[in-house]
A and B are shown apart, each in its own frame.
Chain A
Amino acid sequence: MLAVSKRCFVFPCSCRAAPPGCGPHTLGRLFSAMTQVVPPILSVTPSRALVDEKFKVLVENLPPGYPVTVRSLHNSEDKHDWEAYGHYVSDHSGVVSVSEDLSYGGTYTGKEPMGLLWSMRPVPGSRPGLRLRKMNVCTPMLVTISVHSGHEGFRDQAPLASVLTERWYMAPGIQRITNNEQGVQGTLFIPPGPGPFPGLLDMWGGGGGLLEYRAALLASHGYVSLALDYLRFDQESENLELKYFETAFNIIKDHPQVMSDRVGIFGLSLGSLVAVTLAAYSTIIKPCCIVCISSNHYYPAQGSTVASRFEGVTRQLYKARVNEDNQVIWKDVGLEFITDPSNIAEVGRINCPTLLVNGCDDQNWPTVETAEDVARLMREAGKEHLLSRLAYPDTGHLIEPPFSPHFRATTFVIHSSKEKVLLLWGGKTKPHSDAQEDSWRKILSFLQFHLYCGPCLKAKI
């Protein structure tokens, strides 16, 4: 039996006031060694949620004034461990409510109901430059939330309690269909119900590949969404300017469950360049609205492909600055490119509502300057009324769905040279996470307004 003094059972209000020998280690062992004493009750509500839904993490049945650490742990698809944690002290009734109480330290501080998700980072000892992205959207992201005794050294012993929570990109009933019709590679997500639904063409950036998670999440909000694989370096001839994207857009538009005059485009980074050029130049398709995150309007030569132009940019990157952490900053190189007006897409030709979202600490592309430029050009063309802008301080390039961890710099493979670099995206975790949450809500609201109850319908009534 442990030799603990009577004072232990009074549970002092902070571990600093605890008598020697009665620190969190001892108390933690008290809980687990004495099978007469049951552990605290930890709950996460809801236990299954979409990735953009909030949860409430509650710890009950602790001793009053007891220091604990609430921790989240996730083992990613590529087998890396990610964690976040906050230090708390229970109230007089033995409760810690992550939604209501302040975290005194950890990977986040203050009152942060979702801090256990957005402040996640690779566990100490992981290799640098990791990024967390779900590839298989048919299964949930599994996160273990646990509560540990004490603050310092909380990892040294087993948790007092833990629960598993599921975070889903796909709502129940969503159909996921691989598309390779008409040479277009992508994945289509269709919401449950009779429809018809508005549609969205969803594109990511220069990293290439097929990322489905945002399209799946958009489908969970009622949009038929096509996640498009377009940066096919090996198939340049098929990715002729605009044609590939127009075909993709029409696949959505012509789908029996899609309202053909309610199809929009959603792009991030290079994807936003595609959105802007389609809206400005396509004579075949007319998007109902476009959302551009970390916007890009660099468009030096017509008739070339997105891939070849992107390669053109990457070939200049030897000029890019590398900081003392060995992180590559592309922003200034990009700024050089876009100062020449002949290298810019004629955004004044855009005729649909446009939402630009960017981070003011974007170190990857001069998105602040781009947004300013787009605003100026659209104003000059009398199209200012179509433009909405969201710009977030201390926010970087990778503005992802809410509660996704923030990546200030991650490894990136440059296709042409096969070189692996550590790319600086920018942003500080807390403001960047706030921006993700705020922008997503506003993006959904923008899409709902234009695609679900847009002016085109009102005009007909």
Chain B
Amino acid sequence: MDRKQYCVKLSVQPSRGLMDEKFIVLVQNALPGSQLTIRALHQCEDGHSWEAFGHYTADTTGTINVSEDPSIGGTYSGVEQMGLLWSFRPIPGSKSGLRMRKKNIQTPMEVTISVYQGHQTEGFADLVPLSGVAVERWYMAPGVRRIPVTEGGLTAALFLPSGPGPFPGLLDLWGGGGQLVEYRAALLASHGFASMAIDYLTAKITMETGKMVDNQYFETAYRVLQQHPQVCGSKIAMIGLSFGTSITLKMAVYSEVIKLSAAVCISGSHVQPVDGSVEEILRFFQKNGEKTRFSEKNEVIWRDLLLPIPTDPSLKVNVGRLQCPLLLVVGEDDQNWPSQESALDIKEMMARAGNSHLLTVLSYPNAGHLIEPPYTPHARSSTLKTVEIEEKVMCLWGGQTVEHSRAQEDAWKKMVVFLKENLYGGRNPTSFSHL
């Protein structure tokens, strides 16, 4: 062993954190002034490897603190406490169009963080690091329980926070890709919300009968949640992303059964045939299919399918009738849905109807469509198989990595505060300062 090398010490605190918690990466005992690379490596469930790295210079005490010191190169630069997570990208040689999404949220995401001599940009697999640690990132806090839900024909999973309750409830919907996506609901349960993730496009009943679910499906989900002994039935919110926002707005305004205390709509629109079923809404989108555009890299741009925002009231959810607070999260570089234009129209409609005091819009320049929980890597485009089309396409979501990652962090924080205020009846929003 080379005795001349300093025994560099690397630590990450906390070594087991929630997905939205920050960590402190500290290098100590390096040669003062030495150039070092700190790298994160993660192998996801489908076997692909992701990496992120920053180039640093140790100070006069031989220390690097990632939350205080600037990276001068790598997959992120500047002072970026969480850059090692949000700037993750597939390692060189990976196939294109990948997106990082965890399916099994009962196990943690495992990340190896290592420090290397010099400013390295490639060939990490052939280098021996000076030091390395293992870090766990969890979607589920200890004590959070996952309960599969199948009653009433539902394909859903309920996440209950630890403790006696009762807890406010949340219905969690994703978009056109379908499947039962659980991670956001699991994370929200870790913040005290009884959250039910719902599969409404590829539900078991749809796969077996070939028929899309009807509007009662969502009302059933609401009822199941409301009647749970540990759920506070009068405090239920709904959160939707992309196509999930179409459902959320429809239910918030028109459902006789669903009475929401709050709604969160991320990267979506109110444009849809009012009174349409899930199937009818999808067909409406498909009808405008010829408005599909392609980028120079042949990525699919679908934002025009709902443009221009119609003036015909039968083609827009009548948000003027909304009775609960609504939080809209918009990425201004959304290439998949016209979320910015929709948000503007929603704002106008609500101003005219006199209920705009219920509306909050968070709009982020250079953020794309997939506004995910914080520190999730940004996918500007990825392959997608939707329920409408048979083959996989390369879908352009939009967004520039740095601004998109900042948007994810900011939007999440504000979203959790919004939910706590409206569902827990927060007396003082500034008291949620630990977020």
Contact = CB atoms under 8 A, between A and B. Distances in A.
Contacts of B400: none
Most buried by B among A58, A220, A453, A460: A453
Given A93-B430, A159-B164, A457-B3, 4 more contacts: A39-B166, A43-B192, A45-B21, A193-B133
Contact of B428 (A32, A93, A262): A93
20 contacts: A35-B166, A35-B232, A38-B166, A38-B425, A41-B420, A43-B434, A48-B14, A48-B16, A159-B164, A165-B142, A166-B16, A172-B110, A173-B133, A192-B112, A193-B129, A193-B131, A193-B133, A222-B9, A259-B1, A457-B7
A171 B15 contact: yes
Please give me the 10 A-B residue pairs with the lowest Cβ-Cβ distance, nearest first. A173-B134, A164-B143, A193-B132, A48-B16, A93-B428, A172-B134, A46-B14, A162-B163, A164-B142, A192-B134
A42 B161 CA distance: 11
Contacts of A163: 141-143, 161-163
A460 B386 CA distance: 64
Nearest to B62: A453
B431 A159 contact: no
Contacts of B28: 448
A420 to B, nearest CB: 36
Interface string B1-24: 101101101110111111001000
A49 B14 contact: yes
Contacts of A53: 13-14
A142 B18 CA distance: 17
Given A35-B166, A173-B134, A194-B131, A50 B15 contact: yes
Contact of A38 (B18, B112, B135, B168): B168
Contact of B16 (A94, A172, A460): A172
Nearest to A95: B431
A197 B427 CA distance: 51
A41 B424 contact: yes
B69 interface: no
A168 interface: yes
B42 interface: no
B235 interface: yes
A110 interface: no
B186 to A, nearest CB: 13
Interface string B140-173: 0111000000000000000001111111100000
A461 interface: yes
Interface string A78-118: 00000000000000011100000000000000000000000
A159 B143 CA distance: 15
B9 A46 contact: no
A457 B426 CA distance: 57
Interface string A42-61: 11011111100100101011
Interface residues of A, number: 57
Contact of B1 (A64, A164, A168, A196): A196
Nearest to B235: A38
A162 to B, nearest CB: 4
B133 A192 contact: yes
B423 interface: yes
Interface of A: 32, 35-39, 41-43, 45-50, 53, 56, 58, 60-61, 64, 93-95, 142, 144, 146, 158-166, 168, 171-173, 191-194, 196-198, 220, 222, 259, 262, 448, 452-453, 457, 460-461
Contacts of B344: none
A137 to B, nearest CB: 15
B432 interface: yes
B431 A60 contact: yes
B3 A56 contact: no
Most buried by B among A95, A164, A171: A171
Interface of B: 1, 3-4, 6-7, 9-11, 13-18, 21, 28-29, 110, 112, 114, 128-136, 138, 141-143, 161-168, 190, 192, 232-235, 420, 423-428, 430-432, 434
B142 A168 contact: no
B114 to A, nearest CB: 7
Contacts of B132: 192-194
Contacts of B425: 37-38, 61
Contacts of A197: 7
Contacts of B15: 50, 171-172, 220
Contacts of B14: 46, 48-50, 53
Nearest to A45: B434
A193 B232 contact: no
A274 B192 CA distance: 51
A17 B165 CA distance: 29
A259 B11 CA distance: 19
A461 B3 CA distance: 9
A162 B166 contact: no
Most buried by A among B129, B162, B232, B426: B162
Contacts of B4: 460-461
A43 B28 CA distance: 31
A61 B424 contact: yes
Contact of A94 (B168, B423, B431): B431
Contacts of A158: 164
Contacts of B133: 171-173, 191-193
A161 B3 CA distance: 54
B40 to A, nearest CB: 14
Nearest to B234: A36
Contacts of A457: 3, 6-7
Nearest to A55: B14
Nearest to A222: B9
A231 B202 CA distance: 63
B163 A161 contact: yes
A48 B432 contact: no
A225 to B, nearest CB: 15
Nearest to B130: A194
A163 B140 CA distance: 12
Given A38-B232, A46-B21, A452 B114 contact: no
A93 B427 contact: yes
A172 B136 contact: yes
A460 B192 CA distance: 56
A166 B141 CA distance: 9
Contact of A453 (B6, B167, B427, B430): B6
Contacts of A461: 4
A263 to B, nearest CB: 13
A443 to B, nearest CB: 16
Contacts of B3: 457, 460
A166 B18 CA distance: 12
B162 A162 contact: yes
A166 B427 CA distance: 30
A164 B128 CA distance: 39
Contacts of B431: 60-61, 93-95
B92 to A, nearest CB: 22
A166 B136 contact: no
Nearest to A172: B134
Given A161-B164, A193-B131, A48 B142 contact: yes
Contacts of B427: 61, 64, 93-94
